[in-house]
Amino acid sequence: MSQMNRRRALQLLAALGTTGFVAGCGSDTDPQPTTNPTPIKIGLITPQAGGFKSIGDEIVNGFQLFLDLHDKRLGGHPVELLTADEGETAKTGKAAVDGLLKQGVLALTGVVSSAVMVGIRDTVEQARVPLIGSNASPSSLQSVFYIWRTSYVLDEAGRALGGYLRDQLPANGRVAIIMPENVGSPDVVRGFRQAFGASDPRIGDPVTYTNATNTPGKTTYSADITKALAKKPTAVFCFFAGAAAVEFIKQLREKFSGPIYAPGFLTEGTVLENLKEDALGIQTALNYSADLNNTSNRVFASAYRKKYQVTPTTYAMASYDAAQVLDQAIQLAGGSPNSQQVNLALGKLGQIDSPRGIWQFNQPRTPQQKWYLREVQRDGQVMSNVLINELATLG
């Protein structure tokens, strides 16, 4: 297990009341902490209000959990975690980055909004401080040197579902595509059309774009849903997250009872708690499922549930992995690392033993990873995303 020696893993598993995972826990020859290591500062950027706040909270929780399991250290160095509110615009995101840079952070992480990520790109690159993005990942973010991502590229979510739905949909079926008019939606649509077949008449209708607000009202999507359903589709493909996902599905269910497909953000985290029965049967593609059966996920998911009393999400997992890759890169960078040394070390990392399964950075600094099909099913009194099968390895 990367960066967790056998003794530490045994202590963790014992604390969780978990046994039987000794064989996968690494060896006593794993790197040991630096003698008298200097403290370091890490900047964590998330929305602290608005419709994406719940996603931001998950990102904070995932990063903090890694620190909890590693004695509040990264690469052997004591960590001071500084947080900043990204807001909802490029301007507020830049202000968050500027404030953290002034405090002398060694590296940055987080960022939920794709619009914010695009807006802070130049600031990060010019500062020469690595940013390990743990959510926002527009495909337009190209030719970067200091920006890495532990999440995904948005067109991959569309590609993973496009190939699957192409084979599942009957010959006389039709898909209505409904998306918010934001930075990420064109990526999702492009990936979906490429994998499904752009000329396939079953997805020939134009995309219906809706208001991109993160805090919608109870009728925000009604007119657009009516428009999209006018040609009587047999299925809906959509892309929403957070509070917007809750309102969209509630308004869609008032007019459509058929199958719904989406990138997994549609049913992640607090969304399921709010949707309840309305989420039942929704199928999604995602790079993580909390019921994945591997040693790293058993440790991560058990610890997460124990600390936060909820099931971990892809947001928490990607942030946990952001801490993990920083841990490894800082260790490689040596006793007194600077930001440029850490960035170079990130490029030397190999496979990452993650709760999602093994992955590694590709040339564009994003994960090469598996994507999974999940379905919302009833689990006692609650709804859960249940792993169905693997869809593809992308990246």
pLDDT tens per residue, range 202-216: 998 899 999 999 899
Residue 220: count of CB within 10 angstroms of its CB: 18
Residue 376 β-bridge partners: 385
What was the pLDDT predicted at 382? 85
Q: How far apart are CA 59 and CA 312, in angstroms?
A: 10
Residues 335-362 have a mean pLDDT of 96
What was the pLDDT predicted at 15? 45
pLDDT tens per residue, range 242-280: 999 999 999 999 999 999 999 999 999 889 989 999 999
pLDDT tens per residue, range 188-205: 999 999 999 999 999 988
The lowest-confidence range among 9-13, 283-287, 367-371 is 9-13
Helix (DSSP H) and strand (DSSP E) numbers for the chain: 12, 15
Residues 136-142 have a mean pLDDT of 83
What was the pLDDT predicted at 226? 97
Say what the pTM is: 0.86
Mean of the per-residue pLDDT values for the chain?
90
By the 10 Å C-beta count (0-12 exposed, 13-18 middle, 19+ buried), 10 is classed as middle
pLDDT tens per residue, range 156-190: 999 999 999 999 999 999 999 999 999 889 999 99
What was the pLDDT predicted at 6? 41
